[in-house]
Amino acid sequence: MSEEFNPVTRKKWISYNSLSKKSNKPKTPEKTLEKADPPVDVDKFLMRLDVLRDRMEECEYFTEAMATLKESFLKLQYGEVIGTKIVPNRLVCFGLGQFTRNYQALHQLAFVLCTLEFLDIDEAIFFDPAFSKSEIEALEKLSCKVMKENCEGKFKADVYTIFYMPHCPNCLTNNLLWKNWSPELLKHVILINNSFESLSCSKPDRLLRLDANYIMDIMYDGGVEMPLEDDYTVQNVFNDLSVHVFPPSHLSKKPEFWANKQEPKYNETDTGDMISAEEFAKLSIA
């Protein structure tokens, strides 16, 4: 692989569970979340968000991030039919967190919305089991879709899609890669999440493969990583993030690399803060 990975600081995924004390109880968001916290005035929140979006568009971090994204599109274009232009048709955001109550998630939301506008992407899909009713309402007022069911990251990229997954657990990214485990689909995946290189340095390979086997395989055989330099004015928002793309010209030509890949299965201790589909379904029914 011609590109070299640049390690950066790794940070734990920001999720609802990280906002509350750890316990031995099942990993599900509080059912009484809206009752326990003061109600959110969605219209006032959106006005504050507009101000933050204006600041985001003008900051150096956003400018450099868009330049890196455009460079990643060029890498995907290499080897395609002459004249082919890589244009993302969709943006999917997993694991954003509670953006009305968490400043990191709020700034990340502003970044996503500015990215949609900058790249002229019409379709935006969000999912986080921690979203409150007010947050779902806010996203819908922003013309974004909110998934009703938890796909656990197993989302098929049938068109060029930016996946924004800030500080998500390994298994969520691992599931996304498994769902798109073919050169025809992986070329559509434009992934913004924690640095794969940073992950590879975090613990021994045998332990990483418990929840990141697909990440490790593609990292060493075709993945291209482009770090997003974290010079943002607010700390601990965009640290350890990179753009990852999978150009067909870089991917393995060995059929056995792609064949008979099993759906990932995890022990409870390997899923980090990921809420399973079963847990989310129980919460939705209750």
- Residue 32 predicted with pLDDT over 90: no
- Cβ contact 91:112 at 8 Å: yes
237 pLDDT more than 50: yes
For residue 279, the model assigns a pLDDT of 52
102: left (phi over 0), alpha (psi -120 to 50) or beta: beta
Beta bridge partners of 125: 92, 145
Q: What's the DSSP call for residue 172? A: H
Predicted confidence at residue 37, as pLDDT, reads 59
Give the chain's mean pLDDT. Answer: 84
Which pairing describes strands 241-245 and 224-227: parallel, antiparallel, or unpaired?
A: antiparallel
* Domain 57-284 part of CATH 1.10.357: no
Distance, CA of 54 to CA of 236 (rounded, Å): 20
Lowest pLDDT segment from 49-53, 89-93, 169-173, 268-272: 268-272
**Domain spans of the chain, in order of start:** 57-284
Residue 24: band (very low, low, confident or very high) from pLDDT cuts 50, 70, 90 = very low
CB 98 within 8 A of CB 118: no
pTM value is 0.82
DSSP letter at 206 equals H
- Lowest-pLDDT range of 38-42, 88-92, 140-144, 251-255: 38-42
Work out the average pLDDT over 253-275.
Answer: 79
